[in-house]
Amino acid sequence: MKATGHASVICALLAAMVMSRAASAYYIDTGISEGCHEEMTLRVLSDFLAGTDAFADVELPADHRWQQYADAVFAGLSLNFDTVEEEYVAVSILIGTRWPDEHGRSVTSLSALYATHGDPSDQHEHCLRAVEEDGSSGDATALSRARAFLDDEVATAMSYQLLPSSQRNRAFTEYVEYYGPVSIVLYAPGYYLGMAIHGLQDCFSHTLRAEDLFSIVHVLNFVDAVSDDYSEARDGLAHSYAMDACNARTEPLREAAAEATFELLGALLSPSTQDARDVVSAVADRWMALTPGCTMDNDYCDSPWLELAQEAPAEPIMGCAAVPPRRSASLFSLLLAFSGGSAD
């Protein structure tokens, strides 16, 4: 059968791949993308937990699903946890880090991913502009909401952290490919901190930064960019798949994101909710400060990341326009091989 006979199926599958990468800084592990959120978080966690006994009083659940999940996810990784309690905290943080990109849904389902990433109300989870955040003032509003998201998730984490150890665990839903939604009992303080970590890391791939990597000059836009009514001057620069990539070109951003992640993890060691919020405030002040007045008209204050951010922009999905050009050819050939078609 000729490739044209599978055009709509191929387009839908390509769109699903794009949506799975759409709003995930450095991507999460989907089977068709690298698990950069996971790799970065686990690497930092391994360093953060080294030599600490802060989680000695963590109580492990009777249900061992968390261990089965950890065994699968941590396999092949060079991770050193001193205790099984630290491993439990780590997998709880990891699953929380994945949540903003899946919301308990399949990461390979187009309809599910559209519901997750195309929702205008939760762009702040990914440090992106919402529909109404237009013009230069949209940068400030988007960052304010992103900071509030970090603060809210850390406050929730602390509400569990301050409970007796026997009350800190609760069941969460993680979508496991081929199995569907799976209920896993996790360490709630770690899970909610993981969500905050995701939002913080996204602030490095979904923004343009100054040369010093500390200050932000512009916040990118996904939800308008994939619509049929997008204007860069009004809505901001389109989300870039090139910025999301986990490669040598983005390494300085990822190293900065890792440093910020390490600092945010300190919230879990705070003795009170206010102290934890002080940690969030310090992290946000250091890594999410806005340099105002940077727009399309002045090349976003000549950000050194502009050229990379202009590559592989998010575009309307209809017609497969949003397929990242550097990945589309190989995937297209793979789909043809499975469908029995040809590229002729």
Encode pLDDT of 12-27 as tens digits: 333 433 443 343 444 4
Encode pLDDT of 116-132 as tens digits: 445 556 799 999 999 99
Q: What is the CA radius of gyration of the chain?
A: 20
Secondary-structure percent of the chain, ordered helix, strand, coil, rounded to 5: 60, 10, 35
From the list 331, 300, 326, the residue with the least C-alpha distance to 313 is 326
Length of the chain counted residue by residue: 344
Encode pLDDT of 302-329 as tens digits: 999 999 999 999 988 654 444 343 333 3
pTM of the shown model? 0.81
Q: What is the pLDDT of residue 101?
A: 82
Q: What is the pLDDT of residue 119?
A: 55
Question: 60: which 2 tokens?
Answer: 């492990």
Domain ranges of the chain: 3-339
Q: What is the pLDDT of residue 103?
A: 64
Task: Answer yes or no: is pLDDT of 8 > 60.
Answer: no
Report the C-alpha gap between 57 and 192 in whole angstroms.
19
> pLDDT band at residue 180, thresholds of 50, 70 and 90?
confident
Task: Answer yes or no: is pLDDT of 223 > 80.
Answer: yes
Task: Answer yes or no: is pLDDT of 108 > 60.
Answer: no
Report the C-alpha gap between 10 and 336 in whole angstroms.
8
At residue 57, what are phi and psi to the nearest 5 degrees? -95, 5
Q: What is the pLDDT of residue 237?
A: 98
* Percent of the chain's residues with pLDDT above 90: 60
From the list 300, 138, 296, 297, the residue with the least C-alpha distance to 217 is 300
